[in-house]
Amino acid sequence: MSASFKDKISQTSSFTSLLPIFAFIKPYKLMVLYALLALLLTAGINLSLGQGVKYVIDNGFIAGSETQLKSAILVLVALISLLALGTFSRFYLMSWLGERVSADIRKAVFNQVIKLHPSYFEENRSGEIMSRLTTDTTLLQSIIGSSFSMALRSTLMLIGGLIMLLVTNINLTLWVIAFVPFILIPILIYGRKVRVLAANSQEAIADIGSYAGEIIQNIKVVQSYTHEKTEQASFANEVEKAFSVAKDRIKQRSLLIAIVIFLTFSAISIMLWVGGMDVLNGQMTGGELGAFVFYAIMVAMSVATISEVYGELQRAAGSATRLLELLDVTSKIQTPEEPKKIIEQQENIIEFKNLDFYYPSRPNTAALKTINLKIPKGKVIALVGPSGAGKTTLFELLQRFYDPQLGEVRFNNMNINTLELDELRKRMGMVPQHPVLFSSNVWHNIRYGDPTASDEQVINATKLAHAHAHDFIQELPEGYDSFLGEQGVRLSGGQKQRIALARAILKDPEVLLLDEATSALDAESENHVQAALEELMQNRTTLIIAHRLSTVINADLILLMDQGEVIAQGNHNQLIESSTLYRRLCELQFDNAGNKGGIS
């Protein structure tokens, strides 16, 4: 049993955790009221049917009156029609509520998740968060839409049924009540076992899903290493594990059903015997016995339903706890209450001041140490250094994905923690080494840089991104409307990069953060990408994690980083003179001839 699974089980007990869900139901008070009215109507009719049974037996059969039988049946049909109408309304309204509320919760959770600080996703598995959005909300939907209304209906029937039993025959009712614990005990004992196994089974199914998901996502690696057979075997193993958990669950459940049926019908048989004797002795009419049995079955069914729904409500309480937990997380990265306005400065646009930073998931290793840097406005700054030196981390802090533990990042001479987050990020444009594309068409992907851009502006940005980018897009099966596949799988690396560049061009940011691609583009594409980059860098402050000698040489300032520190800065010639590490990096990693190769 995994830790998270244990957590889930322990969270299935407190019903109070369901209470906050009422906040989501509140806007639909009128619907709830109508549903309750329909519920009362159907429960009332159900209860009156017992009296109908009594009437039909005593006044129709026993009295042998055909007219009375006919009128009794007519009343019965009228009641049943009302019952059908009431049931339709109750079912429709409650299911509608379930769907509506879970849709609202889904939106609320997503709206919350999308604003959370990135480190939250490093500390929590994304699969877990996804399952809250889908599985937990679906469970709540079924609870509100069906289980809750079943519980209410059964409670009403139970109370009403017991009252009617008492009214019909006190003596026999005491028999029924004496039987209840015998039926309840196995339900409670087995019910708990079944619930634990059901949660276990859900966990196993989730494992199957994530296993298959990973394999499908990496299908080319699997096939290229010809691991199909191994993966088939491992998957089969997962599936069989889930099956054996399910087998346990259905065994317990079947046993539970069999025991309950046996006990219930044994109790009814005994009741029929005791009641039958009363009828024979003339202490009770046949109709009364009929009505009694009717109510007894109704009470038994209500008890069974409540006990079943009780388990589901417990599971829902677990789901509610997990969802509300997520809704309660506050982002660690937020705009302050009274953000300051950015006032443009002429000098240094960015400054890192005495900055120390540790990733939250690695609190003992400094990713950046005592960084003191001033980035002049409108210049091109190249960041170089071995892998893991902290270059990307610097970009992340600039966009305020994390806050430093010590020191500050300043933008236009203001601590970025005092600025409006959106305002800061709008002024930064990031082109990552591995461009991120969304499963949509070209329009959507480029317009991510500026959702308000017209078609013409998008096309212009594409033309700027690369002399042939516009052409290659037009050659796609549906031009700009072409679907690019999940994460843009239908494009080559270079094509993806050009789309990402066009996106940044469209955003037109004040500060460009560029992670140069190390992936080998063909020489022509690379020249075009390079030209596009130069275009993009003009008149704006650009920080580049540099992998090409040409970029490094052309930069106005080179920052050499190692193990979280900036160990030297200057231009190419100065660094060649002053830094052995820089010299070594140049000798080892720059490919002067091909203008390629990685320095990091």
Ligand X SMILES: Nc1ncnc2c1ncn2[C@@H]1O[C@H](COP(=O)(O)OP(=O)(O)OP(=O)(O)O)[C@@H](O)[C@H]1O
**Interface contacts to ligand X, rule CB under 6 A:** 122, 359, 361-362, 367, 385, 387-393, 600
Closer to ligand X at the Cβ: 464 or 568? Answer: 568
Closer to ligand X at the Cβ: 60 or 385? Answer: 385
Looking up tokens 């829902």 gives: 316
Looking up tokens 């997520």 gives: 326
Bridging pattern class, strands 380-384 and 557-562 = parallel
What is the amino acid identity at position 357? Answer: F
Whole-number minimum distance, CB 306 to ligand X, in Å?
49
**CA-based nearest residue to 132, from 282, 4, 273, 44:** 4
Closer to ligand X at the Cβ: 433 or 574? Answer: 433
> CA-to-CA distance for 73 and 69, rounded, in angstroms?
6
Closer to ligand X at the Cβ: 308 or 516? Answer: 516
Q: Cα 583 to chain center, whole Å?
A: 49
Whole-number minimum distance, CB 552 to ligand X, in Å?
14
Closer to ligand X at the Cβ: 320 or 430? Answer: 430
CA angle 277, 279, 283 (to 5 degrees): 100
Closer to ligand X at the Cβ: 469 or 585? Answer: 585
Closer to ligand X at the Cβ: 124 or 527? Answer: 124
Whole-number minimum distance, CB 123 to ligand X, in Å?
10
Closer to ligand X at the Cβ: 361 or 580? Answer: 361
Whole-number minimum distance, CB 589 to ligand X, in Å?
11
| 89: its two tokens | 């309304």
Whole-number minimum distance, CB 383 to ligand X, in Å?
8
CA angle 487, 492, 495 (to 5 degrees): 90
Q: DSSP for 439-491?
A: SSBHHHHHHTT-TT--HHHHHHHHHHH-TTHHHHHHHSTTGGG-B--GGGTTS
Residue 142 burial (C-beta neighbours within 10 Å; 0-12, 13-18, 19+): middle
Whole-number minimum distance, CB 355 to ligand X, in Å?
13
Whole-number minimum distance, CB 361 to ligand X, in Å?
5
Whole-number minimum distance, CB 357 to ligand X, in Å?
9
Whole-number minimum distance, CB 235 to ligand X, in Å?
30
CA dihedral 261, 267, 272, 277 (to 10 degrees): 160
Closer to ligand X at the Cβ: 271 or 575? Answer: 575
Whole-number minimum distance, CB 335 to ligand X, in Å?
23
> CA-to-CA distance for 407 and 434, rounded, in angstroms?
30
Closer to ligand X at the Cβ: 105 or 384? Answer: 384
Q: Name the β-bridge partners of 414.
A: 411
The residues, any chain, with a CB within 8 Å of residue 66's CB and separated by 6 or more, are none
Contact 436, 478 (CB under 8 A): no
Q: Cα 534 to chain center, whole Å?
A: 41
Closer to ligand X at the Cβ: 359 or 472? Answer: 359
> CA-to-CA distance for 449 and 435, rounded, in angstroms?
13
- DSSP 3-state of 527: helix
> CA-to-CA distance for 429 and 409, rounded, in angstroms?
17
Whole-number minimum distance, CB 22 to ligand X, in Å?
38
Closer to ligand X at the Cβ: 118 or 186? Answer: 118
Whole-number minimum distance, CB 394 to ligand X, in Å?
7
Closer to ligand X at the Cβ: 317 or 561? Answer: 561
The residues, any chain, with a CB within 8 Å of residue 536's CB and separated by 6 or more, are 464, 501, 504, 505, 512, 542
- DSSP 3-state of 285: coil
Looking up tokens 């050009």 gives: 498
Contacts by 217-222, CB closer than 8 A, 24 or more apart: none
Contact 496, 517 (CB under 8 A): no
Whole-number minimum distance, CB 436 to ligand X, in Å?
15
Q: Name the β-bridge partners of 514.
A: 431, 544
- Residue 574 region by backbone torsions, left for phi larger than 0, else alpha for psi between -120 and 50, else beta: alpha
